[in-house]
Amino acid sequence: MKKISLLWILLILGMVTSSCNKRVSLQSYYVDKMEDASFLVVNVPFKLESFFKQNLSEDEQLTVSSIDKLNLLLFRPKEDQIEKYQKELVVISEILDQERYQHLMNFRAFEKAEGTFLFEGTTQAIEEGIIFLKMGEKGFGVLRILGSDINPASLVTLVKKVDPNLFKQQLKFSFGSIEGLFSDEKKD
């Protein structure tokens, strides 16, 4: 009887410690933030071709067709949310620092925004591309690019070819509620 009790205690202790060691996934972070009014989480409903001013090569068009969907998470803190912003920035940075996400490149975008491009999968076939954009104290955004066998070289070329003005126009057109997101004025 003592052996069975000891076995149950060890089993419960093992389950508790293993569940405490689980790290939050990017997917679960998105799901958790869907109910938080400070965040905007959307499945991007427009065609990727609308982001490019330049013509796409055959490889780039193939890459676009291998992308199944885009998920966008945006957080722009109001003046009274600076502490929350710092906390959320730490949480998202810890998620993206996990070994499962490999660094592909850093870049600059818009005015004073710093970006990082990460991926999950192999260097021959990306399963998930992640673009993390931090706009100083103005907020941050995470774009998940989900698909199968996405060519990483073509994806990097595509990211570099995205026209920021067309991207902003598409966001404003599709989501009027975030119209002021990229402007210098904060809307409360």
Distance from C-alpha of 168 to C-alpha of 188, rounded to nearest angstrom = 20
Asked if the model's pLDDT at residue 159 lies above 90, the reply is: no
For position 90, what pLDDT does the model report?
94
For position 174, what pLDDT does the model report?
59
For position 188, what pLDDT does the model report?
42
Q: Which residue has the higher pLDDT, 9 or 45?
A: 45
Distance from C-alpha of 59 to C-alpha of 61, rounded to nearest angstrom = 5
Place of tokens 């100083």: 136
pTM: 0.74
For position 62, what pLDDT does the model report?
84
Asked if the model's pLDDT at residue 184 lies above 90, the reply is: no
**40-49, 103-112, 122-131 — which is least confidently predicted?**
40-49
SS3 sequence of the chain:
CHHHHHHHHHHHHHHHHHHHHCCCCHHHHHHHHCCCCCEEEEECCCCHHHHECCCCCHHHHHHHHCEEEEEEEEECCCHHHHHHHHHHHHHHHHHHCCCCCEEEEEEEECCCEEEEEEEEECCCCEEEEEEEEECHHHCEEEEEEEEEEECHHHHHHHHHHECHHHHHHHHHHHCHHHCCCCCCCCCC
Distance from C-alpha of 36 to C-alpha of 52, rounded to nearest angstrom = 32
**11-25, 36-50, 135-149, 155-169 — which is least confidently predicted?**
11-25
Asked if the model's pLDDT at residue 16 lies above 80, the reply is: no
**Mean pLDDT confidence for 23-35:** 89
Q: Each residue of 80-102: pLDDT tens digit?
A: 999 999 999 999 999 999 999 99
